[in-house]
Every structure is written in structure tokens, then in C-alpha cells.
Amino acid sequence: MAVVRYREALNQALREEMERDERVYLMGEDIGVFNGAYKVTAGLLEQFGEQRVRDTPISENTIVGLGVGSAMTGMRPIVELMTINFSLLALDQIVNHAAHIRYMFGGQVKVPMVIRMPQGAGHQLGPTHSHSFEALFLHVPGLLVAAPSTAADAKGLLKAAIRDDNPVIFIEHEYLYGQRGDVPDDGDHVVDFGEAAIRRAGDDVTLVGISRMAITAERAAQVLADEHDVSAEVIDPRTLRPLDLDTILASVRKTNRCVIVEEGWPHGGVGANLAALIQEQAFDHLDAPVGRVTGADVPMPYSKPLEQIAFPHEPQVVDAALATLRDV
């Protein structure tokens, strides 16, 4: 194992896959000379040259559209969008083209591309740079959706995404780029899609954390253990399409309670979808309604104090978990 930052783990995955397969190339705004807005692509231009690390104009629909076309003709593009909010400018290319072309062509054409983008609050970047849109892409058949919370998963899932023959929405959290973690240094660390991780075992309540909220859920579980003698099991789905629902349901059937934690908005969110699936398939095992902890139902504030209360922290998760343990 080696201890590396989340951004470094992503960089390793990109470098290794570009060395492994000459069809893999990168494009995006400021990813070359500037090394990327979050320095994920540092050093890759020098190693692979301008043909495989391509700085693009500021035009998300053009970047993604070019990626779709090149993927259809045999390349394996990795497109970096500077923030997930900017992906809204390319929704036609992502939804109508990338996600559906393989279906419309009867499987004769594949779209093996990865669209990388950061999201999330905490850096005072305002409402057009800070939201969490997992649920938007989760809604679309034909897309795979990954949201890794650790450095090891960031590397392993990105390598798996690059090798997949389907379009992958790869969501990174801005807060996580500088976080360190253990990453296997075996040279080919790949994490399969559709396999959730049990971050902490427990018996009293299941906490499901999405993206950075998996870490928040772990911290909340420690508070529950230390201050309330509550044993919480923490599950990180890691990928939302495909979703490892079996692991979540097995945990709920053991603990009989569940709280889902996400940074996105409450209406139509990932938590709403998971809560529906859990009550449909594990209703007889629930001793309390499925709890949800979400971001505030507002545009992300620029003000630092307001921004901090607009996304979940440990106290909200602890309160929600304790609420499921009260008589209902």
C-alpha cells in the first residue's frame, strides 16, 4: 500500500491506462499546460504529448460531442468538465447521444467514454460551481455512474470506467482531491462497478453515504458509538449505476433501520430513490421509516457560514440515526 492523495490516485489511473492502451486520450479545458483546474492531469501532457492530452475551447457541448464521435469510431476518450454544473451545457450530447446511441444502433456501435467532473460544496464557489447532480445522471438508462469517496476507489473505479465499453459519468468531490488514503501499489488496482463497500460494521442502524457523505457517515458512526452506544453500519455504494442494492438490503435486514446521507437536493434525489427501493424490498424488516439527510433545498450560498449549513455534517446524521431508534 502507498499513501497518496485522491487527485494523485486519479492521475495514476489516467497514466497507467494511457500507457496500457494507445486509444485512450484526454481532453478538456486547461488540462494540458495548466495541468487541470484541480491538478489531476499534472505531468500527462509532457509524457503523452498534445495529440493525447488536448486542451479545448470553453464549449462543453462541443467537447462531449467530440468525445462521443471519437468513441463511436474506436477511440476511448476521457473528457474532463471543470465542474458538474457545466455538464448541463452538454446534456443533449450526454443523454441523447452518449447514453442512447448503442441502443439506437442495435449494439453495432459502442460509446466507450468517460466524463470526469468534480462537484460539491465547501469552497465558496457559489451556486453555479457547487452542486451535486448524481441523481440527474442516475435517472438516465445507458449511463454508468460512479462516485468514489476514497483514493483507492478513485483509482480503481476510474481504471474500470476507462476499460468499460459504456459511457461512464465519473463524479469526483472537490473536497476529496486533497485527502490522503491507502492505495494498492500492485500496478493494476481495479474496482468493479456494482460492488458497495461496507466501511464500518454495525448492528443498530444502517447509514448509506453518497460520495463525500460516506466519510461524513463514518464520522457520525463514530460519534454514535462514543456518545450514544449505538452501533452503526456504514455503506458506501461507490457506484449508483449499477447499484449494489443487495448489500444495502442485507444490512437493513440486519439493523432494521436506515438513514441515507447525500449532499444533493432532497426532491428526486439519490436518497429518495434508495428509500423507495428499500421500502419496496425490505419493508417487513423496517422498524422505523427510512431516514434521509440531504443538502438544503436552496441554490448553494456563496457566504461561507450559509454554505456550511447548506450541506450535511455529522450532527444531522447522528440526529437522524437516533430518530430511527426512538419508538415510532
Catalytic (active-site) positions: 60, 129
Q: How far is residue 273 CA from its own chain's centroid?
A: 16
CA separation for the pair 158, 171 (Å, rounded): 10
Asked whether 54 and 32 are in contact (CB, 8 A), the reply is yes
Query: Residue 217 contacts by C-beta under 8 Å, 6 or more apart in sequence?
Result: 199, 207, 208, 209, 232, 234, 261, 317
Asked whether 237 and 273 are in contact (CB, 8 A), the reply is no
Tell me which residue of 323, 317, 311, 325 sits closest to 131, measured CA to CA. 311
Give the start-end residues of each E strand in the chain: 2-5, 24-28, 53-55, 76-80, 114-119, 144-146, 168-173, 180-183, 197-200, 205-209, 232-236, 239-241, 258-261, 291-293
CA separation for the pair 209, 240 (Å, rounded): 11
Q: Which residues of 143-157 are buried (b: 16+ CB within 10 A; e: fewer)?
A: bbbbbbbbbbbbbbb
